[in-house]
Chain A
Amino acid sequence: MSKILIRGAKVLGGEPQDVLIDGGAIAEVGTALSAEGAQVVEADGKVLLPGLVDLHTHLREPGREDSETVLTGTRAAASGGYTAVFAMANTFPVADTAGVVEQVWRLGREHGYCDVQPIGAVTVGLEGKKLAELGAMHESAAGVTVFSDDGKCVDDAVIMRRALEYVKAFGGVVAQHAQEPRLTEGAQMNEGVVSAELGLGGWPAVAEESIIARDVLLAEHVGSRVHICHLSTAGSVEIVRWAKSRGIDVTAEVTPHHLLLTDELVRTYNPVYKVNPPLRTERDVLALREALADGTIDIVATDHAPHPHEDKDCEWAAAAMGMVGLETALSVVQETMVDTGLLTWAGVAERMSFKPAEIGRAKGHGRPVSAGEPANLMLVDTEYRGSVDPAGFASRSRNTPYEGRELPGRVTHTWLRGKATLVDGKLT
């Protein structure tokens, strides 16, 4: 059945309306729409948002299919209300050629749970030495527009400058993992009171802030646009705020975990809290929330980083960095931003769908909920309260910091071009 009537949904958190989907597109939005010939989904006051778009996902395929694949990762994405994810380039082999990015893009299409937009590496093998074939990746079927050496910083100022300049030719953007490498040698956690006590190597805020400062100045100098990945400190917020006030074309993302968790959790030495950039302090968390609310930080991106159990079930120093996030992102944003009154649901749609799609040039995603638009939509039950049970995750990995923690909200339905990928909380 290609016609679906979503009845009584709070579109972007507004008054309840009906939304009629027909043949993959939104046919009509209004009240008391006819259900004739349509399958009816009773929304019962749930919030309807455009399908979420994640500008920062690790799908691990090719190379680490034991942690995640395009299939399991996109199923996790659909469970979390996403209809498009940008897959990071740090796979094995690295996504630094047209061949690899096309493979990842095609797998996403074939599985049909979520569109996968590959991110291309900035430099060959993420080694920071030689530009990858950025143009070839852009011209491939995958149509890459976002480039990042994520996991590593493009720390050479000249390479960064050239990359920023080069991608202007096709409207690309360089997404920087801001981490000054010398200042973070041996880094295990945020440098501060807790690291001093625990004797774990410190990852100082200035290692992130100094790179952001450099890169916004480079972007200004060459007239290009730069995107800052997983911004994590109060100081970084100040730099981005200054850059924007100066008219520099910079955008920035924050992860859900940096909006909620602090480095106090590292006292447990549980590597589930080990992530890069590291969990920061309460002061940073509050600054990030405020910056996301006022638009200094443009978007929420998950940095979904799946790791198998054995890479986390060990001592802290030996453990892999990263957390899964696709299936809990919206709940964390509801708890930290909506339930605190900092953001409306329309604001959530802006930061988790419209704006990330715009930054990444994701066609057909992040569009208004109105007639004629592609039916990429999701429903969230905002009244729901329940504790997180990783056993139910669609992701192949379970490294969530929220196990057993109560979080609000539950995604019940997701539609990708009018086809349901999630119904009543169950994947199709």
Chain B
Amino acid sequence: MQRHLISAADLTRDDAVLILDTAEEMARVADRPIKKLPTLRGRTVVNLFFEDSTRTRISFEAAEKRLSADVINFTAKGSSVSKGESLKDTAQTLEAMGVDAVVIRHGASGAPYRLANSGWIDAAVINAGDGTHQHPTQALLDAFTMRRRLVGRDAGIGQDLAGRRITIVGDVLHSRVARSNVDLLHTLGAEVTLVAPPTLLPVGIETWPCEVSYDLDATLSKSDAVMMLRVQRERMNAAFFPTEREYSRRYGLDGDRMARMPEHAIVMHPGPMVRGMEITAEVADSERCTAIEQVANGVSIRMAVLYLLLGGNEPAATHTRTEEK
């Protein structure tokens, strides 16, 4: 494992499988009466959020607290940081306070990379989403969810996603989730197809390790998982597509479309869901939709990442899988 987690592309297959396996151990902690491990006792982790994201911040905070880390939340959103020096200044302030890890969310692509590589700070840097670039823990929790559902909770240990067919639908152009997932799923051996109107696919996508299609209906029957991305309403005003209804008709997932997916196939969504546009309530609330599981799995994945980056070589949990057998 590297010292930082900036991009899903930085993970080898073995790194990724190790994180997924570790997350399975961490998940067991959530089933205990006292959901806490002493692993990161005495370590300080800062959640440095330059961009709003309550869901991701709370998920990291829960993970940090379950590992007994001291947690500092720092929110610096908006125009006060439009002059970039504040990232450096803030980083150095945190460094002076003896922080061990920084979980950073930033509106600018590459900000976590700069933080980790500019000599501003010695702490481990975990990217919690940067601009339209990467969101590696999201990709890991998605892969974790897929492995549990498609391979099996215990059967999945040590396994990757070789041969699974994953379809990602929606605003790929602006999506760090899509970028991270393409990188990680490819590393794990899955076959990824991106589906979107051409306006929401980046120029240069032809070099990505995936297929690209404009036709959702043609890909549904060949998908083990269909991941719907959130489409921001303001994209409509920027002429990415004509109307919300037309988008919904061509790229939305409704009951009819879901029925054309193989029986075992799941529907995923990174949240928050815009019901009625990219996904109908019928689909969102169905058994096949894993959105809520993804949230729960996010905590386990983030515990695993924090543990592996900061915890060293001791066993992650006292109740390891072997002991339970």
Are A195 and B204 in touch, CB under 8 angstroms? yes
> Which A residues between 149 and 193 are near B, CB-CB below 8 angstroms?
188, 191-193
Cβ-based interface call for B98 (8 A): no
Report if B269 contacts A (CB, 8 A): no
Docked-complex contact A193 and B109, CB < 8 angstroms? no
Assess whether A269 is in contact with B114, with CB atoms less than 8 Å apart. Answer: yes
- Expressed in whole angstroms, the minimum distance between the Cβ of A209 and any Cβ of chain B is 14
How does the 8 Å CB contact mask read for B129-161 relative to A, with 1 for contact and 0 for none? 011111000000000000000000000000000
Contact of B87 among A191, A195, A196, A314 (CB under 8 A): A314
Say yes or no for B34: interface residue by CB 8 A criterion.
no
User: Does A316 contact B204, Cβ atoms closer than 8 Å?
Assistant: no
Given contacts A197-B179, A199-B133, A199-B134, contact A315 B111 (CB under 8 A): yes
A204–B204 alpha-carbon span in the complex (Å): 11
Interface residues of B in 242-261 (CB under 8 A from A): none
Q: Kindly state whether residue A310 has any CB partner on chain B within 8 Å.
A: yes
Contact A317 B131 (CB under 8 A): yes
Centre residue among B85, B109, B130, B205 by max chain A CB count within 10 A: B109
Residues of A within 8 A of B88 (CB): 313-314
Q: What B residues does A204 contact at CB under 8 A? A: 203
Do A315 and B204 touch across chains, with their CB atoms under 8 A apart?
Answer: no
Q: Is A318 an interface residue (CB 8 A)?
A: yes
Within B39-85, the residues touching A (CB, 8 Å) are 82-85
Complexed CA–CA distance, A121 and B179 (Å): 43
Q: Which residues of chain A come closer than 8 Å to B87, judged between CB atoms?
A: 314-315, 318
Q: Are A310 and B133 in contact (CB under 8 A)?
A: no
Is B241 an interface residue, CB under 8 A from the partner?
no
Q: Is the CB of A269 within 8 A of B113?
A: yes
Q: How far is the CB of B49 from chain A (nearest CB, A)?
A: 15
Q: Nearest CB to that of A310 among chain B residues? A: B85
In the complex where A199-B131, A199-B176 touch, is A316 in contact with B83 (Cβ < 8 A)?
Answer: no
Q: A269-B114, A315-B106, A316-B109 known; A197 and B85 CB under 8 Å?
A: no
Known A315-B87, A318-B84; contact A200-B204, beta-carbon cutoff 8 A: no
B84 touches A317 (CB 8 A): yes
Taking a contact as CB atoms under 8 Å apart, the answer to whether A315 and B202 are in contact is no
Least CB separation from A200: chain B residue? B109
Give the docked Cα–Cα distance between A193 and B208 (Å). Answer: 9
**How far does the alpha carbon of A128 sit from the alpha carbon of B117 in the complex, in Å?**
40
Q: In whole angstroms, how far apart are the Cα atoms of A380 and B173 in the complex?
A: 49
Using an 8 Å CB-CB cutoff, how does the interface string of A99-120 with B read, 1 for contact, 0 for none? 0000000000000000000000
**Interface pair A193/B110, CB less than 8 Å apart:** no
Enumerate A71-123 residues with CB–CB distance to B below 8 Å: none
Using a Cβ–Cβ cut-off of 8 Å, how many residues does chain A contribute to the interface with B? 23
CA–CA, A188 and B208, complex, Å: 20
Q: Does B296 contact A (CB under 8 A)?
A: no
> How far, in angstroms, from A315 to B134 measured CA to CA in the complex?
15
Q: Does A278 contact B (CB under 8 A)?
A: no
Set of chain B residues within 8 Å of A188, measured between Cβ atoms: 109
Asked if B207 is at the interface of the complex by the 8 Å CB criterion, the answer is yes
Interface size class of B (residues with CB under 8 A): 20 to 34
- Is A198 part of the contact surface with B, judged by Cβ < 8 Å? yes
B108: interface (CB < 8 Å): yes
* A27 CB within 8 Å of chain B: no
Closest chain-A Cβ to B73's Cβ sits at a distance in Å of 21
A199 contacts B84, C-beta separation under 8 Å: no
CB neighbours (8 Å) of B133 from chain A are: 198-200
Q: How far is the CA of A268 from the CA of B108 in the complex (A)?
A: 14
Per a CB cutoff under 8 Å, which of B115, B117, B132, B207 touches A199?
B132
Q: Which of A250-308 contact B (CB under 8 A)?
A: 268-269
Is the beta-carbon distance between A315 and B203 smaller than 8 angstroms?
no
- Min C-beta distance of A308 to chain B, whole Å: 11
The reply on A366 being an interface residue by CB < 8 A is no
Per the bound structure, the CA–CA distance linking A199 and B183 in Å amounts to 13
Residue-wise, chain B 167-183 has the 8 Å CB interface mask toward A (1 for contact) of: 00000000010010000
By beta carbon, the residue of chain B nearest A191 is: B203
A418 in contact (CB, < 8 A): no
> Measured between alpha carbons, how far is A57 from B85 in the docked complex, in Å?
27
B300-314 near A? 1/0 per residue, CB < 8 Å = 000000000000000
* Residues A315 and B108 in contact in the complex (CB < 8 Å), given A202-B203, A310-B85: yes
A208 to nearest B CB, angstroms? 15
Q: How far is the CA of A192 from the CA of B207 in the complex (A)?
A: 10
Contacts of B113 in A (CB 8 A): 269
B82–A198 touching, CB < 8 Å: no
Chain B residues, Cβ within 8 Å of A268? 117
The 10 A-B residue pairs whose C-beta atoms are closest, nearest first, are: A318-B84, A314-B84, A199-B133, A196-B204, A317-B108, A269-B110, A199-B132, A196-B202, A193-B204, A315-B111
Which residues of B approach A to under 8 Å, CB–CB? 82-85, 87-88, 106-111, 113-115, 117-118, 130-134, 176, 179, 202-205, 207-208
Listed by A's residue number, 13 A-B pairs whose Cβ atoms lie within 8 Å are A191-B204, A196-B204, A197-B208, A198-B110, A198-B133, A199-B130, A199-B131, A199-B179, A269-B110, A269-B117, A313-B118, A314-B87, A316-B108
Apart from A193-B204, A196-B205, A199-B109, what are 11 other A-B pairs with CB-CB below 8 Å? A192-B203, A193-B207, A196-B202, A196-B204, A197-B208, A198-B133, A199-B132, A199-B176, A200-B131, A202-B202, A317-B109
